[in-house]
Each structure stands twice: as structure tokens, then as C-alpha cells.
Amino acid sequence: MFDQDAIKFRKKGSEIKEAVRLRSAALRARLDHRNKTLDGLMSDRKKLRSYLVFSVEHRYGMHESSGELRSRDDISSEEIEDINQLCKRIREIEAELYRLELMLTHLENDKEFHLSLPELVAYGFDVKT
């Protein structure tokens, strides 16, 4: 195995910006898909209410393994976990998009940068770029 940090890739700011734009577009498509899923949840008032009520108990550890009775209409613990994961991923994608937007704003086109392999991947370069 080789040391990934020992290899550096020379890229101009303009090349990085192009890769970042492509990465941002892919992230926006994924975010749009997740936002539609979240919009669906938010339009289901019963499910949203159930999620809000039960997720508070879950966060504070109340009634865990207590065998509490739930209504047939109440949200399941699996659905709560799915929604939590959805929201976490939305937050992560939005944070990454913000970071990439900062790069697009402040990166100089003609300046040359030496990127590590993880940086190359994180900025959206792929085999074809």
C-alpha cells in the first residue's frame, strides 16, 4: 500500500472549480431527492406529529424497553430512525454544498494547488477529469 498523502496532484484553481461545480450539481440532485421525501413527511400531519412526540421520548431515553403501548397510527421506531437518518444526511449535504460554494467564491483560477488523493476525491475529480 502506498502513502496517499505522499502523492500530490497539481491542479489549477480553474480545474478545481470545474470539478467542484460537477460535485455540487450531483449533491444538489441528491439533496432535491431527500427534500422531496422530507416534504412528503411534512405534509403528513399525523405522521409528523407522531414523529415529533416519540422522537422527544427517544432523545431523552424515556420509556425505553418499557413495553409502552402505541396506537396503530403511531410512528414505528424504524420510521423514526429512517427520518433521523434522512435529516442527518440532508444536514451533511447542505454543509458540504456550503463548503464547496466557499471554495468557488474564493479560489483563484490561475493559482496552482497541490492536492492529496483524498482532497482530489473530495472536490469531485474522477477518472475522466
Grid cell of 101 as nine digits:
460554494
Beta partners for residue 113, in sequence order: 11
CA distances from 107 to 61, 90, 101, 120 (A): 46, 26, 10, 15
pLDDT at 11: 96
pLDDT at 116: 92
The pTM assigned to this predicted structure is 0.80
Give, for all 129 residues of the chain, the pLDDT tens digit: 667 677 899 999 999 999 999 999 999 999 999 999 999 999 999 999 999 998 876 554 444 555 555 677 788 889 999 999 999 999 999 999 999 999 999 999 999 999 999 999 999 998 875
pLDDT at 66: 52
pLDDT at 29: 98
Amino acid at 101: E
